[in-house]
Chains A and B, each alone.
Chain A
Amino acid sequence: DAGVIQSPRHEVTEMGQEVTLRCKPISGHDYLFWYRQTMMRGLELLIYFNNNVPIDDSGMPEDRFSAKMPNASFSTLKIQPSEPRDSAVYFCASSQDRTYGYTFGSGTRLTVV
């Protein structure tokens, strides 16, 4: 298995633009998680899905953030409009169930200028 695949690896965008981050989880993993990592706040759970259904989005910072999982092999995290404070590394992770450890993707480094 190729692991959790995220794209793009790096994204530089101007303030106000829409940004879409993509994630392909490991096949057979029923849970998918979106995390944000910053120096100031560490790893923050934004949202997670179980069987493609959003379960808890309480970590999503504000309405500018949205996430979807249209099928078991694809998820997106969208920021519209983007702001400089959204600059961070965004990780996607998947898991067979919450008892197991998570497998993380390599992350997307987002820079909003």
Chain B
Amino acid sequence: AQSVAQPEDQVNVAEGNPLTVKCTYSVSGNPYLFWYVQYPNRGLQFLLKYITGDNLVKGSYGFEAEFNKSQTSFHLKKPSALVSDSALYFCAVREMGQNFVFGPGTRLSVLP
């Protein structure tokens, strides 16, 4: 069975500092990995995905994520956080032929 974990409920960073939101997964085959962001009173918005190829994936709004197969991780990163990045972030994983499984979400607060 596929599963995804986001070990931190909340991440606080100062504006201008680098940020990392962690995600680990478990699948039996090759994973498709996604990050979504949810702003208040909005639906989830796609940020980036890893399907195959380069382990470092770049996405919207300056975010990137690195696929690490040995550690079964797909952490989301940004070199310099903005206050406007404050939101709820979801990691999602799926295998071929399966639906997505979403993580519980990590609330990111960027402090001015």
Instruction: From B21-29, B73-81, B94-102, give the one contacting chain A.
Output: B94-102
Would you call B14 an interface residue if the criterion is a C-beta within 8 Å of the partner chain's C-beta atoms?
Answer: no
A66 → B minimal CB distance (Å): 20
Q: Which residues of B contact A99 (CB under 8 A)?
A: 32, 51
Would you call B63 an interface residue if the criterion is a C-beta within 8 Å of the partner chain's C-beta atoms?
Answer: no
**Size range of the chain A interface in the assembly:** 10 to 19
Cα distance A45–B100 in the bound complex, in angstroms: 9
Are the CB atoms of A4 and B94 closer together than 8 Å?
no
Residue of B nearest to A105 (CB): B43
Provided the pairs A101-B46, A104-B44, A105-B43 are in contact, do residues A43 and B102 lie with their beta carbons within 8 angstroms? yes
Give 10 CB contacts A-B under 8 Å: A98-B98, A99-B32, A103-B46, A104-B36, A104-B45, A105-B43, A106-B41, A106-B43, A107-B41, A107-B43
